[in-house]
Chain A
């Protein structure tokens, strides 16, 4: 009975993580289309939500790789997974509050690694897997994405320089709808899988599923729904930073950025790297700023993001470890419930605070007001 309640709580928390994953990452696919006006904000998030749903069913190859290659799965208990998810959710909410596009995948991995260390020591982590599958690709992927996007931008502007301004703008807006859709699809094939994998891992640890099982259908369906619902809600703060904060984007650049992101994400998952879509999208957007003559790249915004990326794994790990320690000290069902209650309290606090400086579909494209923290109220902030 106690085990059943704990596993039920875990599923709820995991779906909560999937939801934050969705709205945190809407911007990766749609920020540039919203910024250039290729799609209206509401239409963009709805389209992205639907394509995430489709993508989640399209490919199941990434599921479960997240934990099995990174920690000794034998040491993982349901409480460990739940504590790890707490770390991931709290990091996602904090970075969303500050409008920083950080990696949801790293938040999840960091949280689970941290809680595993707290439960079973440093030996339970496959450090080599962590470096070769997560940390090194995280360093390389934004650079590759920027290179591809800069090349694409340079080519596009060269090839389309004879087209009159209005026709070019309109043509590339149409193209952008296609390329942004592909990024949403790619996101669904990647990120929804990660939560499916985590829930499956916990079900196996609980003995509800035999080891080596694939994700059951209800897990696939509920994860797909959670991430697409989150996407539809739209993480307007992050969308704003990506679309307006980094580079002022025109529609040809938007298409170049999205094409580069889609290609790199799909290729990397083909090779089994659970890449961060956020790192790729940010690299691409920087790339289109570099590739166009005279475009302004706000390196201070980029620097603040990169700093947040460095801290994602360690801080999510610390929170995950803390959550596990707390649950462990209290023990049993009580410990898990205390974790969940604290998680809800923190989430509610962040949400209430965010309403004071709300960013929404209405003001997401307002003029970027410079070096101020994105948490500061925008001129046209709506309540």
Chain B
């Protein structure tokens, strides 16, 4: 800590910034990868019959489905996305509570 730069705030901004600003999108990438994991029957684009596939594709003709058709992958992906949403919700809560 010195008079001109608050070093303790600085390192917290860097560390928490890395966790939230780089860690959460990385977790999103992990979730996406699990979501995209191919299943047994459904591996080709557009043939995905699951509700998840319809949910993700939503009229984007010509783009490959994000949901690969693997239910385990879907569950793990949902956990990843839930953690991200929870982290964002907690962050917003902290900002509002700080008032």
Contacts and interface: CB of A to CB of B under 8 A. Distances in A.
A binds B: yes
A140 B66 contact: no
A36 to B, nearest CB: 14
A132 B5 contact: yes
A164 B99 contact: no
A255 B22 CA distance: 10
Contacts of A131: 4
A168 B29 CA distance: 9
Is the contact region of chain B dominated by helix, strand, or loop, or is it mixed?
helix
Contacts of B63: 166-167, 169-170
B96 A256 contact: no
Contacts of A58: 92, 95-96, 99
Considering residues B12, B14, B21, B98, which has the most beta carbons from chain A within 10 angstroms of its beta carbon?
B21
A208 interface: no
Given A148-B17, A156-B25, A160-B33, A128 B3 contact: yes
Interface in A104-140: 128, 131-132, 136, 140
Contacts of B74: none
A136 B6 CA distance: 10
Contact of B25 (A147, A167, A168, A255): A255
B51 interface: no
A149 B36 contact: no
Contact of B13 (A132, A144, A189, A259): A144
B22 A152 contact: yes
A95 interface: no
Given A128-B3, A159-B33, A167-B64, A152 B25 contact: yes
A148 B22 contact: yes
A159 B95 contact: no
A271 B24 contact: no
B75 interface: no
Nearest to A185: B92
Contacts of A353: none
B98 A159 contact: no
Nearest to B22: A152
Contacts of B5: 132, 136, 140
A268 interface: yes
B28 A271 contact: no
Contacts of A159: 26, 29-30, 33
A131 B96 CA distance: 28
B58 to A, nearest CB: 9
B4 A166 contact: no
Interface stretch (A171-179, A233-241, A297-305): A171-179
A270 B23 CA distance: 19
Contacts of A264: 13, 17, 21
B54 to A, nearest CB: 14
Nearest to B5: A136
28 contacts: A58-B96, A58-B99, A61-B98, A128-B3, A132-B3, A147-B14, A147-B18, A149-B21, A152-B23, A152-B25, A152-B26, A155-B29, A156-B28, A159-B29, A160-B29, A164-B64, A166-B45, A166-B63, A171-B35, A259-B24, A260-B21, A263-B20, A263-B21, A264-B13, A266-B91, A269-B95, A271-B13, A273-B9
Interchain residue pairs A-B with the least CB separation, the first 7: A263-B21, A152-B22, A166-B64, A155-B26, A159-B29, A260-B21, A263-B20
Given A170-B63, A263-B21, 4 more contacts: A59-B95, A148-B17, A156-B28, A263-B16
